[in-house]
A and B are shown apart, each in its own frame.
Chain A
Amino acid sequence: MRLIETNGIAVRLGGAMVLHDVSLAIDRGEIVTIVGPNGSGKSTLLRTIIGAIKPAKGQIRRSPGLRIGYVPQKLHIDPTLPLTVARFLSLPRRHAPATVRAALEQAGLPDLRDRQMTDLSGGQFQRVLLARALMENPDLLILDEATQGLDQPGSAAFYRRIEEVRQEIGCAVLMVSHELHVVMSASDRVICLNGHVCCEGRPEIVAQAEEYRAIFGSGTQGALALYRHDHDHGHDHDHDNPHSHEAAE
Chain B
Amino acid sequence: MMLDDFLMRAALAGLGVAIAAAPLGSFVVWRRMAYFGDATAHAAILGVAVALAFSMSVFVGALVMSLIMATTVSTLSGRGFAMDTLLGVLAHSALAFGLVAVSFLSGVRIDLMAYLFGDILAVSQGDLAVIWGGAALVLGLLAWRWQALLTATLSPDLAYSAGIDPRREQLVLTLALAVVVAVAIKVVGVLLIAAMLIVPAAAARPLASTPERMALIATLIAAASALGGLRASFAMDTPTGPTIVCAAAMIFAATTLGSSLWRRHRSPSVL
Report A's interface with B, CB cutoff 8 A.
Answer: 14, 47, 50-52, 68-70, 72, 75-78, 80-84, 87, 91-94, 114, 116, 142
Q: How many A-B residue pairs have CB under 8 A?
A: 72
What's the Cα separation between A70 and B159 when bound, in Å? Answer: 10
A52 touches B213 (CB 8 A): no
The 0/1 profile, CB within 8 Å of A marked 1, for residues 29-69 of chain B is 11110000000000000000000000000000000000000
Query: From DSSP, what is the main secondary structure of chain B's interface residues?
Result: helix
Supply 17 further A-B pairs (C-beta < 8 A) apart from A72-B155, A94-B147: A47-B160, A52-B161, A70-B157, A70-B158, A75-B155, A80-B202, A81-B30, A81-B211, A82-B209, A82-B210, A82-B214, A83-B210, A87-B210, A91-B147, A91-B158, A92-B147, A92-B164
Closest to B207 in A: A82
Report B's interface with A, CB cutoff 8 A.
Answer: 29-32, 80, 147-148, 150-151, 153-164, 202, 205, 208-211, 213-214
A72 touches B158 (CB 8 A): yes
Known: A75-B154, A81-B153. Contact between A52 and B209, CB under 8 A?
no
What's the Cα separation between A51 and B167 when bound, in Å? Answer: 13
A81 touches B155 (CB 8 A): no
What's the Cα separation between A93 and B150 when bound, in Å? Answer: 10
Chain A residues, CB < 8 A from B161:
50-52, 68-70, 142
Which of B147, B153, B162, B205 lies in contact with A82, CB distance below 8 A? B205
Of the listed residues B30, B161, B164, B211, the one surrounded by the most CB atoms of chain A closer than 10 A to its CB is B161
Closest to A93 in B: B147
What's the Cα separation between A93 and B30 when bound, in Å? Answer: 20
| A98 nearest CB across to chain B (Å) | 18
A84 touches B147 (CB 8 A): no
Known: A50-B157, A72-B157. Contact between A116 and B209, CB under 8 A?
yes
What's the Cα separation between A91 and B157 when bound, in Å? Answer: 13
Query: From DSSP, what is the main secondary structure of chain A's interface residues?
Result: loop
What's the Cα separation between A68 and B22 when bound, in Å? Answer: 34
What's the Cα separation between A69 and B31 when bound, in Å? Answer: 24
Of the listed residues A78, A91, A94, A116, the one surrounded by the most CB atoms of chain B closer than 10 A to its CB is A91
What's the Cα separation between A209 and B163 when bound, in Å? Answer: 37
Which of B29, B30, B153, B160 lies in contact with A50, CB distance below 8 A? B160
What's the Cα separation between A94 and B162 when bound, in Å? Answer: 13
Nearest 9 Cβ contacts at the A-B interface: A70-B161, A52-B160, A50-B161, A92-B151, A92-B162, A81-B30, A82-B208, A51-B160, A87-B210
| A71 nearest CB across to chain B (Å) | 9
Chain B residues, CB < 8 A from A116:
209
Closest to A91 in B: B151
Can you spell out 8 A-B residue pairs with CB atoms less than 8 angstroms apart?
A: A50-B160, A78-B30, A80-B205, A82-B208, A83-B210, A87-B210, A91-B151, A93-B162
| A18 nearest CB across to chain B (Å) | 16
A52 touches B211 (CB 8 A): no
Chain B residues, CB < 8 A from A81:
30, 153-154, 211
Known: A78-B32, A83-B210. Contact between A91 and B160, CB under 8 A?
no
Chain B residues, CB < 8 A from A87:
210-211
